[in-house]
Each structure stands twice: as structure tokens, then as C-alpha cells.
């Protein structure tokens, strides 16, 4: 009788389980044949082999000589260590470059061939190799480097972004590497943050559009079959990484639930839903007290369930260990592994600790991590490998990519640099400079390829750039080439200590620069930052260094017109030197062709068209974004005994940028003035070039919700386009604005489109539209 009861009870449980099975809907990218191939491979895999597929180690672990952290030169793989990593631990992924140094395509080909041949012999499963190709082929000598992301954002040109990503994919593939940890989707909303320049600026919509363009360029048109010339993207760092309370890298952030969903989530949502980004990297920090690498809600519920994401979620560098040693939310390494895997991590960028595999195997055998969770993670990793075609083509010849580093690729990089540079001031139209003028070029950024490129350039911190980029022209060299070497003097006045921390400077020689200014017509003063990346780039003061500020002030006293050229990863404060600078140009980190692009702009051969992708602050205690709340910047005073008004002064607003010509906006119209959820509002405006030179103009559409149940942002960017206009030419620009894009996220985390008035603005033109009814919905999509 007891046996019968147990059988009946077991049958009941099976019936309930099968009847209530609510399997998640298949992704729109579901490929039944691909999934069958994955099933076939997984059916033959042991637990050890499956866990190995979830592990990723850095290349130096298998390099000859040294230790786990560095290898001998010239680099060779240690076959005994390769046997241990792949033979014993069945590891399925490798990353990074040896000794933090760019390698030739020849070295990459030999390295990947050796790794893949050993992996195929051991498990029959190719290794997934990943690298940071962040503004081109970061770690391949001779590759094409574009402006960093912040400069690409300043172009407001998604076509340029897609083409740059396509070229980066091609040249990374020429290096035998099929996967990049890029693009960065963090919102750069805090000027202090050391990775500001890796972002597309402060706005969620701009980040989303540039991110979508980047993923399209990297992955191509078919994410189920990444082609011969494309690679897999990895959107990072999910999410809220760019707004640490302290301003310092990898420290905690506090973000409201509404902002988290409405702004910080949006670029990730867009790149996953619109372009099927194949992988996602997790924020190294803490959001609202929860370590993101252990956050089941954000990783599994928001990404895997709500977006039906079928790609790979990977950790950042050593962040499982950080749950233990830094965040202190685990008693030992094994518990840290358990928490992260159960939260939804699929692939662990360890990168040195070979005990990971054993720890995870023990957790599965102890029932602390389910076999289903392991199988889900491994399926995702294998799916990525199949989509990349690695089972059919695990390595290839560099000769299959003859356009690596080609003139056409370099031309695209120069065009991007030219469109990124932003003219912030041009008093009395002092620019452009006539050929034949006498010029003093000065400042610590004048004669350095390192500062033009920034971090992630041939090495992590960019400190090796001069060695690899000697064939390109610095700002000084480009100006000499443009205006004639005999017309250009050089005296830096201030220089960086290239062997020290990024902020270290040598003893200044300001007087030498002042003396050199005698007899010149113009002073081109090149200030900013030396290269840095991540935590080593933290700062305590946002203002330019005292040496650089003093250099500017002394040169301004000479009475010679000072043209300030900023070359910086984040907006350093310039309020003391801005008033007496006759012109100001922001170059950001423009890459190897930034010098030539700047010289073309200074001479007038190119008309500047960049616009700021962030709000340029004036005071360190006045950091603000353009989409702030009304209470953050109130003109006028309150009546009565107490004045609670707030005013925040800025140097330059988001979207600001001048041209050598002028543009006139007119005739802003909408096809409807009343709308409901689901409607599309057609917005049109005319732009005329009223100057006498050809120019490019980024046309930005903003909206303002005038009254809402939650205090609304003062304005939001809703669309943009970039156009070319000949003198006196008129073009009409049309935007299709989805009514639901005017919604906000309420205090309960629901999208809310409320009845009321919305002001639309393009340039100095405005139009009012009215929502007829309120709608609230609960979905990650607008």
C-alpha cells in the first residue's frame, strides 16, 4: 500500500510538472537546426567538460616562462600548461593578450591555431577567444584605430559608427579572434568617472542608437551565422557602472528604480532586442547595495526572462573573486561561485584561478547548483560558438584578410575623427587660420600619439602607443605639415612624466613657452590628460592640473590669441582659462588620425560638425546632466522667508557645437497635434545653410513633458539625424516619433504615458502636441 501511494504521488508530481510547464517563448532568432546540433554535442559531454565550457582564462596562464601573470618574449605557448588548462580542466574560452602588448597578425594566427588544435583534439569543441577591440583592433599591431566611443558619439552619425565597427570586426577577425568585449553601453553621466570616454555620453537614447549601430557593424546582418568578416559583440557593463557615488571606478552606485529601468537599461534592451547582441558583460560594481554579479533579478529576470535573451552572460575580470575579497558577500570562493552562477552568470572570466572548475563541479555534486543551470549556461556558450562558425572554421589564415590596415580603413577613421571634433568657441571668427600664419604649438598634449588615443590602445593603459604608432602624426606634426614647418614653433611648457601615473607631470618650463610666443600670430595650446583606463584613471580633482592652468594663464597675458585644444577622456574644468581663450576645440580621444583631422579644421579644409555628447561642467560641485529634474536648476527666487531655488552653472550644454557656417531652422510641423498610445507622430523641420561654406549639421529632436505625476525631466532627446548642406541649401528633415517613446517609468516600475501636453523642440523651433489618454503597461519594451 505504501509503495502504491508513493507511485501515485510520483505520478501526480509528474502530471503537475508537465501540465504547468510554461516554457519561455522561443526567441525570434531561434534556429531549430542549430539547437539540434547543440543537443548532439551536449549529449556526449561529461560534467567536467560542461563546467570547462563555463571557464575563461587569460592568455598568460598558458604562456612560456614567467608565471601566471606574464610570459617570456617573444611569446610562445607553453604546451604543458595548455595541456593542463584544456586537457585537465577542459577550459572552453581564452581571452586577452600576453604581457599587455599588441601582437602582429602572424603571432595571433599561430597562437590561435595552437590553442584550437589542442582543444579539438581534447573535446572536439573549439575555444571561444575574446578580446577588447574597443576603438579598433586594440591589441593588433598595424590595425586601424578610430576615435574612442565618446568621440564617435560626438559625430551623431550612426552610419560612421556602423562602418567603424564593421572595420574593427574585419581587422579583429584578421587576428583570428571572433569575439570582442564591446560596445560599452554604460551611460557616462558623471564627468569624474575614469571610463567616461568609453561611453557614448550621458544620454540613454544616444547610447542606444550608437550601440545598435556598433553591434550591427560588428555582427553583420545574421546573428545566427556570423559571417567571414564579422565577430560577436558583447554589450557591457550591465548596468549602472558609470555613475558611482564616489566618481571612482568599480565603487557602488545608487540609482532610482525609475532611472534604472528607463535610462540605464535602455541601451542594453535596444542592442539585444533590435540587433541580437550575442553576449553581455556584467557591471563590476554594486547597485543599490546589491553586487551585480550576484543579482538574480537584474541578470535572470530582467535580461534572460523579460528580453528572452539567449546569449551568453559573462563576468568582468576576476569579479567572482571580488564577491569574496572586495564585496564580502561570500564566506569563501566556492560560495562566491555558487552565488554568481545561480544569479545567471554563464561564463566566468576568472582569469587566473584554476580552482574554479573544481569548485563548480563540487557545487553541482552537492546540489547547490542545479544541473539545469549548468546545461543552460553551456547551451548558451555552445550556441555562440556555433553562430560564430567555429566548429567549421576554428582558425584561419591572416592572408584571407588583405584589407587589414588598408588605406580605405584609415580614411574611414580620419573621417570619423574629423566629424567628432567639436568647436566650442570661436570668438570674432578667429578660426580658421590662414596659411602662412606664424604659430606657436604648446602644451603637454601637443606632440604625443599616446594622448591622442587614450587607453585600450596597443596596451591596457595606452602607455605603449608611441612604440606602435610612430608612423602617424601628432597634433604638432600635423600642424607643421599643414602650415609649413618653418611657420610653426614648438615649446611645450608642460610635459607628462610618461613613466609615472597618468596625472604626473615633469617640472614645468612655462617661461620658455611664453618667450617662444614672441613674434607669432597664434598660440595653439594643447591641454588635457595623459592616457589611462579603469581604476588607475581615478581622480580627486576634475580641474585641469595647476601646471596646465598656469601655462594657459601666462600665455594669455602675452596678448597673442590663444586657441585652446582639449585632448581629454573626460571634461576637465576650464572655467579659469575659458574667458580669455579666443577659440576652443574639443578633440576627445580622436585616435591615430586626430592630428590630421584637427589640422584640417584649423585651416578650414574641414568644417567642424561635432556636438557634445555630455554636459560640460563648470564647477565640480555642479555636475548635472541635460535631462535633469526642474528642481535642479531654477531661475529666480521663491517668495517669502525662505528661498529653496537651485541654480547650476555649466560650461557648455549637451548637444552644443559650433560651425564655420550658420544654420537657420524653420517650419517645424507635426502631422497630428493630439495622439494616443500606439500612434506615430511625424515631425518635420527645415534647415537652411545661411553661411558661405558647406557644413554638416546634427539635427536633434527633444521633447518636454510639461506636467506629470512624477516630476518630469526638463527635456529628453528623442531622435537625431546628420545632414550636409551647401551654402543657401535648404533640406527638410523628417522624424517618426512613436507616442509610446514619450512615456516614463513610474514609481512602481511601469511604463506610463499620461494625458497632457508635450513640447517638441528642434533648434529654436517648437510645437505642442497633446496626449489624449493615460496608459500604463508592464513590459521592458516601450
- Active site residue ranges: 316
Answer whether the bond into residue 183 is a cis peptide, omega within 30°: yes
Record the cell numbers describing residue 99, joined without a space: 604581457
All residues at 6 or more sequence positions from 709 whose CB lies less than 8 Å from its CB, including other chains: 746, 752, 754
Q: What is the β-pairing status of strands 522-528 and 751-753?
A: unpaired
CA nearest to 64, candidates 51, 55, 74: 74
Strand partners, 55: 348
Other Cβ atoms within 10 Å of 447 Cβ, number: 19
| Residue of 717, 697, 618, 699 lying closest to 202 (CA atoms) | 717
Q: Are 210 and 157 in contact (CB under 8 A)?
A: no
Helix (H, G, I), strand (E, B) or coil at 83: helix
Question: Measured between alpha carbons, how far is residue 539 from residues 197, 247, 623 in Å?
Answer: 14, 8, 15
Instruction: Check if the beta carbon of residue 51 is closer than 8 Å to that of residue 358.
Output: no
CA-only gyration radius of the chain, Å: 27
What DSSP assignment string belongs to 271-294? HHHHH--SEEEE-SSEETTEEGGG
Q: CA–CA distance from 150 to each of 114, 155, 202, 259, 622 (Å)?
A: 37, 9, 10, 21, 21
- Taking the C-alpha atoms of residue 370 and residue 373, their distance in angstroms, rounded to an integer, is 5
Query: Are 691 and 729 a contacting pair, CB within 8 Å?
Result: no
Helices (H) then strands (E): counts for the chain:
22, 29
Q: Please write down the long-range contacts of 207-211, taking CB distance under 8 Å and 24 or more positions apart.
A: 207/153, 207/266, 207/267, 208/266, 208/267, 208/269, 208/270, 208/271, 209/158, 209/270, 209/720, 210/149, 210/152, 210/153, 210/158, 210/161, 210/183, 211/183, 211/185, 211/235, 211/267, 211/270, 211/271
Amino acid at each position: 500500500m505504501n509503495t502504491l501511494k508513493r507511485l501515485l504521488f510520483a505520478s501526480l508530481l509528474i502530471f503537475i510538472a508537465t501540465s504547468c510547464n510554461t516554457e519561455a517563448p522561443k526567441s525570434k532568432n531561434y534556429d531549430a537546426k542549430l539547437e539540434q546540433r547543440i543537443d548532439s554535442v551536449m549529449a556526449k559531454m561529461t560534467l567536467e567538460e560542461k563546467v570547462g565550457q563555463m571557464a575563461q582564462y587569460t592568455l598568460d596562464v598558458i604562456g612560456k616562462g614567467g608565471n601566471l601573470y606574464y610570459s617570456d618574449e617573444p611569446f610562445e605557448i607553453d604546451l604543458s600548461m595548455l595541456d593542463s588548462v584544456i586537457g585537465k580542466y577542459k577550459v572552453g574560452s581564452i581571452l586577452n593578450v600576453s604581457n599587455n602588448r599588441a601582437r602582429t597578425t602572424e603571432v595571433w594566427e599561430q597562437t590561435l591555431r595552437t590553442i584550437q588544435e589542442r582543444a579539438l583534439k581534447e573535446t572536439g569543441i573549439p575555444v571561444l577567444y575574446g578580446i577588447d577591440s574597443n576603438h579598433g583592433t586594440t591589441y593588433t599591431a598595424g590595425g586601424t584605430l578610430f576615435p574612442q566611443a565618446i568621440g564617435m558619439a560626438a559625430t551623431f552619425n550612426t552610419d560612421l559608427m556602423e562602418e567603424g565597427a564593421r572595420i574593427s570586426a574585419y581587422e579583429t577577425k584578421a587576428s583570428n579572434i571572433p569575439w570582442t568585449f564591446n560596445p560599452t553601453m554604460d551611460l557616462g553621466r558623471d564627468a569624474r568617472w575614469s571610463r567616461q570616454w568609453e561611453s557614448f555620453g550621458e544620454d540613454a537614447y544616444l547610447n542606444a542608437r550608437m550601440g545598435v549601430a556598433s553591434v550591427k557593424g560588428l555582427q553583420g546582418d545574421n546573428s545566427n551565422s556570423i559571417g567571414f568578416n564579422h565577430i560577436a559583440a558583447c554589450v557591457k557593463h550591465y548596468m549602472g557602472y558609470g555613475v558611482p557615488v564616489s566618481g571612482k571606478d568599480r565603487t557602488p552606485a545608487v540609482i532610482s528604480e525609475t532611472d534604472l529601468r528607463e535610462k540605464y537599461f535602455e541601451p542594453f534592451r535596444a542592442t539585444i532586442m533590435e540587433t541580437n547582441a550575442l553576449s553581455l558583460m556584467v557591471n563590476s560594481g554594486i547597485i543599490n547595495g546589491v553586487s551585480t554579479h550576484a543579482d538574480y533579478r537584474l541578470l535572470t529576470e530582467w535580461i534572460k526572462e523579460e528580453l528572452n535573451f539567449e546569449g551568453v552572460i559573462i563576468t568582468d575580470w576576476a569579479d567572482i573573486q571580488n564577491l569574496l575579497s572586495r564585496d564580502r558577500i561570500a564566506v569563501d570562493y566556492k560560495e562566491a561561485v555558487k552565488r554568481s552562477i545561480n544569479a545567471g552568470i554563464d561564463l566566468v572570466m576568472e582569469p587566473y584561478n584554476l580552482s574554479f572548475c573544481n569548485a563548480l563541479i563540487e557545487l553541482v555534486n552537492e546540489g547547490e547548483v542545479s544541473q539545469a543551470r549548468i546545461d543552460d549556461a553551456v547551451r548558451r556558450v555552445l550556441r555562440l560558438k556555433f553562430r560564430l562558425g567555429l566548429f567549421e572554421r576554428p582558425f584561419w589564415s591572416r592572408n584571407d584578410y588583405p584589407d587589414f590596415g588598408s588605406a580605405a580603413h584609415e580614411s574611414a577613421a580620419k573621417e570619423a575623427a574629423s566629424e567628432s571634433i567639436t568647436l566650442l568657441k570661436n570668438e570674432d571668427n578667429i578660426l580658421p587660420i590662414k596659411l602662412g600664419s606664424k604659430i606657436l604649438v604648446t602644451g603637454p598634449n601637443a606632440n604625443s600619439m599616446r594622448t591622442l588615443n587614450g587607453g585600450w590602445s596597443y596596451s591596457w593603459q595606452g602607455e605603449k602607443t608611441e612604440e606602435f604608432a610612430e608612423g602617424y602624426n601628432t597634433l604638432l606634426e600635423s600642424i607643421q605639415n599643414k602650415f609649413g614647418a618653418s611657420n610653426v614653433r614648438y615649446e611645450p611648457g608642460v610635459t607628462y612624466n610618461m613613466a609615472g601615473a597618468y596625472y604626473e607631470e615633469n617640472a614645468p618650463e612655462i617661461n620658455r613657452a611664453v618667450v617662444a610666443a614672441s613674434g607669432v600670430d597664434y598660440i595653439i595650446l594643447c591641454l588635457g590628460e595623459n592616457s589611462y583606463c579603469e581604476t588607475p584613471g581615478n581622480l580627486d580633482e576634475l580641474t585641469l592640473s595647476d601646471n596646465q592652468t598656469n601655462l594657459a594663464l601666462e600665455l594669455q597675458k602675452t596678448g597673442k590669441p590663444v586657441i585652446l585644444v582639449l585632448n581629454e577622456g573626460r571634461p576637465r574644468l576650464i572655467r579659469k582659462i575659458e574667458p580669455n581663450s579666443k577659440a576652443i576645440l574639443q578633440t576627445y580621444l580622436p585616435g591615430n588620425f586626430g592630428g590630421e583631422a584637427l589640422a584640417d579644421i584649423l585651416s578650414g579644409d574641414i568644417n567642424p560638425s561635432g556636438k557634445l555628447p555630455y554636459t560640460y561642467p563648470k564647477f565640480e560641485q555642479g555636475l548635472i546632466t541635460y535631462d535633469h529634474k526642474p528642481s535642479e536648476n531654477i531661475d529666480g527666487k521663491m517668495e517669502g522667508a525662505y528661498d529653496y531655488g537651485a541654480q547650476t552653472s555649466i560650461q557648455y550644454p549637451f548637444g552644443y557645437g559650433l560651425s564655420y557656417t550658420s544654420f537657420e531652422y524653420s517650419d517645424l510641423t507635426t502631422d497630428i497635434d493630439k495622439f494616443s498610445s500606439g500612434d506615430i507622430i511625424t515631425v518635420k523641420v527645415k534647415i537652411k545653410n545661411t553661411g558661405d561654406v558647406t557644413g554638416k549639421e546634427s539635427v536633434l529632436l527633444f521633447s518636454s513633458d510639461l506636467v506629470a505625476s512624477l516630476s518630469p525631466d526638463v527635456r529628453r532627446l528623442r531622435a537625431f539625424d546628420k545632414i550636409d548642406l551647401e551654402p543657401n541649401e535648404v533640406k527638410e528633415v523628417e522624424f517618426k516619433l512613436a507616442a509610446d517613446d514619450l512615456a516614463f517609468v513610474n514609481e512602481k516600475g511601469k511604463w506610463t504615458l499620461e494625458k497632457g501636453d508635450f513640447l517638441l523642440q528642434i533648434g529654436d523651433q517648437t510645437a505642442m502636441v497633446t496626449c489624449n489618454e493615460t496608459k500604463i503597461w508592464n513590459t521592458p519594451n516601450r
